[in-house]
Amino acid sequence: MTTPDRRRELAEFLRSRRARRTPEEAGLPTFGRRRTPGLRREEVATLAGVSITWYTWLEQARKIRVSRQILGSLATALGLDEVERAHLFRLADEPPPDGAPSRAELPPQYKLLLTHLDPNPAFIVNPRFDILAWNRGCELLYGDLAALPTSRRNVLWLTFTAPEVREMTRDWETEAALTVALFRTQANEGILAPEITGLIAELADASPDFARLWRRKELAPFVPKARTIDHPLLGEVTLDYVKLHVANDDKTLVSYLLPPGSEVESQFLKRIRIPGE
């Protein structure tokens, strides 16, 4: 989206939300009937603490810069929810405010999906790469994740501090560098969030390899591909590696896909117990 297009979209979004917001919802007194629904421009300007001229220019898609503070004030004045607030910030070419919606508890449907993906190893991570839920196939691949402390149930911690994971990774240096680059890319503007900087500091102290790779500041787009591992129980195993972002959430589904009808799928099925089979 070009800058002029973004300004027009921002202007139209503000007008649509102003028309939707009633004076009663905004805590304003009303006198008689109004010719048009919603708030007037001057009312939004007053609620947001800006001049009526400036706000009018904003709704006219004029070339003006909007600060994060004013965006927050406009979002409050217009009664925007968290999703709308994040959308407003993006239209103004600003990263959404910290504390964007993030579900601590996973919906049961997510866990059901992981069950249906068995025997394909699959798990769900948040922006810190914490592993929030996983299936039986994942346990066969990575071991008993439930036995790990919650703070260490993390893809980066497993990659850099779990000897068994390092030993079964065919080209550990390349895979580790890619994991770090993907993490930096996915963190994006949240890279300075306290929960991310804290994780980076802990990992850098615990692993010189992580500290070295992190200093490279490399970025990488995710590309689905095959990964070959040397599994202690299954031997050499080649799996297709995919990631899918969860809609309207900050979670990511990660799965290693077994070739249907293959010997490796048969081996996974033999070693895990799937409900109903």
* Per-residue pLDDT tens digits for 211-257: 999 999 898 888 888 989 999 888 999 999 999 988 878 899 999 99
Hey, what are 215's tokens?
């200093």
Percentages helix, strand, coil for the chain (3-state, rounded to 5) are 50, 15, 35
In this structure, which amino acid lies at residue 262?
Answer: S
Q: Between these two residues, 216 and 2, which has the higher pLDDT value?
A: 216
Three-state secondary structure string covering 106-120:
CCHHHHHHHHHHCCC
Neighbours of 107 (CB within 10 A): 11
State the Cα–Cα distance between residues 256 and 277, nearest whole angstrom.
21
> Structure pTM?
0.66
DSSP 2-13: -HHHHHHHHHHH
Q: Are 154 and 130 in contact (CB under 8 A)?
A: yes
State the Cα–Cα distance between residues 154 and 246, nearest whole angstrom.
18
Number of H helices, E strands in the chain: 13, 5
The edge-to-edge listing of strands for the beta sheet with 235-245 is: 131-134, 122-125, 252-257, 235-245, 225-231
Answer whether residue 33 shows pLDDT above 60. Answer: yes
pLDDT category at 103 given cuts 50, 70, 90 is very low
